[in-house]
Chain A
Amino acid sequence: MSRWLQLGRRAALAAGALGAGSGAALYLSTPAFATELTLHSSHLPWSHNGWFSSLDAASVRRGYFVFKQVCAACHSMKFIAYRHLVGVCLTEEEAKAEAAEIQVQDGPDETGQMFERPGKLSDFFPNPYPNVEAAKAANGGAAPPDLSFIVAARHGGADYLFHLLTGYMDPPAGRLVGEGLYYNPYFPGGAIAMAQALYNEIIEYEDGTPATQSQLAKDVATFLTFTSEMEHDDRKRIALKVLPWTLVLVACSWFAKRHVFTYLKSRKIAYKNRPPRKFYT
């Protein structure tokens, strides 16, 4: 390597180190403001975290019942229909029974009137409020967000949801939380308009699982992961088939490339009867 190249590389490294160092020094010297201090959720060992791990169907089922009995009172889920649950956490008959529990406005009939009918599989989950203004008025000015894609729509996903639901606590000394708001360190800004919703034993699971607060939060977070990402299991199943196959292709093509290039890579250039080089000094 020529000396100039060496110097050039060293200069580039030095410039890079200088840039990175000055950036780090500037960053570390910032003061931190209290309103920015949102507690980041830790990474939880969800059973569906692995590359080839599916969602826990029993947990999704329990989570649906938690959602229905606790969350659906205030939160809509307008992108999820009862038919989406069939084959995932409910049988078709169970899903039809769940749908039949709600009343849906349909119509008009032959006389031109709108009417109410029990829900069918094709109906979407009901919205507890007729419009956004009613939702805001009933909840202290903050409309409860739609939960269909909530795991995708929040940084931290299911980890954030679990920590948010179980993270309600008294504010630290000196931290004032406005009226109608509750302190939650995981919520950006720290003050959330939703009261703590999950307590131990607020509902009873049909399969007998102890309904502790963390179990409720885990199940509802898994259910919401499912609704945000209904292709989850399909996606990983296809990955299980595709990725090893691409590795095989990479290995074969690597061998083929090296095989084809053997002639070129094993060439040697040699001089024969070359006139002597003159060194000008």
Chain B
Amino acid sequence: IYFFNRNLPLLSLLDLGTPVNISYFWNFGSLLGLFCGVQIFSGVLLSMHYQNSIEMAFFSVNLSIQNEVFLGWFFHNVHSSGASFFFVFLYCHLFRGLYYGGFNQINIWMSGVTILLFSMALAFLGYVLPWGQMSFWGATVITNLFSAIPYVGEDVVHVLWGGYGVAGPTLNRFFSLHFLVPFLMVMVAFFHVFIFLHVKGSSNPLGGPINQFLKIEFFPYFVVKDFFGIYLIFFVFFYFCLLNPRLLLDSENFIEANSLVTPVHIQPEWYFLSSYAILRSIPNKFGGVVALAFSVLFFYFFPFFFQNLYNNSFFNNNNVKFYFWFWLSSAIVLCYVGASPVEYPWVSIGIVFTFFYFSGFFFLLF
């Protein structure tokens, strides 16, 4: 591996050569790093007051933290809005990588998709912790998916639950895992940025050749640009935390978890809606789980099927760009389908757009 001179991580923030023409889409990386820190900080503060028993979880979140701990409500809102913002940035960062051919740098791509998977697991684990109706039933639905594994499925699920259903032990271990996984994620992110990315530096919207000579130092140009992006996002973020915290939350989660009462509409948070729609669109249980897993795991396969000469998609035939937008729009439609009840016409729309979602990938192979 060829390292730049003085590859010490902090120094690279000052003088790593960066292409001059990178657009605002390149801001999402630094925003992700910042929000990872915000989530860890607010999460540690919350964990000092959170009680992870099923009797006390709802009380500790909605009364103790929200009303009695000084600024508890603020950090609670920061942590839940921060998770949504983290996913917005993750998806924008991922789409930027897809569109501009970032998957040609295999190390960066693989570690990035790993971070995405960690984040999705983390968000799922975290959503269970307030122990509201949607927490409990979302946990039930998603952990039951593991029973689709042939032969060992039921036993795997019982080990996961620590019992015969989602209950106290499940909440306990989800809290432990939710506390642990961010640190694993930070380690992978460290590799993603400071080991893998800083070998060659950032890519740029035009692609490979320009990378070699039109570079400028990171400081002050992109430090200032990143700060502008950060402050702009802060405005939107504080709007959500302080003025409209319930916009992205499901009202069902303000009811205590009750294993005897099923909510009318079980749905995950918005960032999981497209995968949820794919899961529900396949009539077969095992097929649905495979499709769900594949809908995220197929990102791992991108570098091996789309090797570009120039490290971008600028010079490709226009099919790649068409299918990128085709795939993206089907993902957005699937988000809406995922939030809808399983009735006509959402079932048919879901099936059709699941087909569209995967078809782009398969067509581009040939």
Chain B residues near A239 (CB-CB < 8 A)? 238-239, 242-243
Q: Given A239-B243, A246-B234, A253-B228, verify A15-B264 contact (CB < 8 Å).
A: no
Chain A hits for B242, CB < 8 A: 235-236, 238-239, 242-243
Q: Does B63 contact A (CB under 8 A)?
A: yes
Known A-B contacts A26-B348, A230-B67, A260-B221; the reply to A246 vs B252 at CB < 8 A is no
A155, CB-defined interface residue at 8 Å: yes
B246 at the interface (CB under 8 A from A): yes
What is the predominant secondary structure among interface residues of chain A facing chain B?
helix
User: Would you call A270 an interface residue if the criterion is a C-beta within 8 Å of the partner chain's C-beta atoms?
Assistant: no
Whether the Cβ atoms of B225 and A257 lie closer than 8 Å is yes
Known: A12-B322, A15-B325. Is A254-B330 also a contact (CB below 8 A)? no
Question: Looking at chain A, what size class is its interface with the partner chain?
Answer: 35 or more
Indicate whether B190 reaches chain A with its CB closer than 8 angstroms. no
Tell yes or no: B255 within 8 A of A by CB: yes
Q: CA separation between A235 and B81, bound complex, in Å?
A: 14
**Chain B binding surface, main DSSP class:** helix
One of A146, A246, A260, A261 near B235 (C-beta < 8 A): A246
Q: Are A15 and B74 in contact (CB under 8 A)?
A: no
8 Å CB contact of A19 from B232, B252, B256, B333: B333
Q: A7-B318, A152-B254, A264-B221 are in contact. Are A15 and B66 (CB under 8 A)?
A: no
Contact, CB under 8 Å: B318 / A154: no
Query: Is A149 interfacial (CB 8 A cutoff)?
Result: yes
Given A188-B264, A236-B242, A238-B242, are A16 and B66 neighbors across the interface (CB < 8 Å)? no
CB distance from B251 to the nearest CB of A (A): 5
A264 to B22, CA, bound (A): 12
Instruction: List residues of chain B with CB within 8 A of the CB of A26.
Output: 345, 348-349
B251 contacts A153, C-beta separation under 8 Å: yes
Query: Which chain B positions have C-beta within 8 A of A256?
Result: 224, 227-228
Q: A19-B333, A249-B234, A253-B224 in contact; A8/B318 too (CB < 8 A)?
A: yes
Q: CB distance A79 to B251 under 8 Å?
A: no
B345 near A246 (CB under 8 angstroms)?
no
29 cross-chain CB contacts under 8 A: A4-B318, A8-B321, A12-B326, A16-B325, A19-B356, A26-B345, A26-B348, A26-B349, A29-B345, A79-B59, A146-B256, A148-B62, A153-B251, A157-B251, A188-B264, A228-B254, A230-B66, A230-B73, A231-B73, A234-B73, A235-B243, A236-B242, A242-B238, A242-B242, A249-B231, A250-B232, A253-B224, A254-B228, A264-B216
Q: Knowing that A79-B59, A238-B242, A242-B238 are A-B contacts, what are 6 other residue pairs whose CB atoms are under 8 Å apart, sorted by A's residue number?
A: A16-B329, A153-B254, A157-B246, A239-B243, A246-B235, A249-B231
Cβ-closest 4 pairs across A and B: A239-B242, A153-B254, A231-B73, A8-B318
User: What residues of chain A have their CB less than 8 Å away from a CB belonging to chain B?
Assistant: 4-5, 7-8, 11-12, 15-16, 19-20, 23, 26-27, 29-30, 51, 79, 84, 145-146, 148-149, 152-155, 157, 188, 228, 230-231, 234-236, 238-239, 242-243, 246-247, 249-250, 253-254, 256-257, 260-261, 264
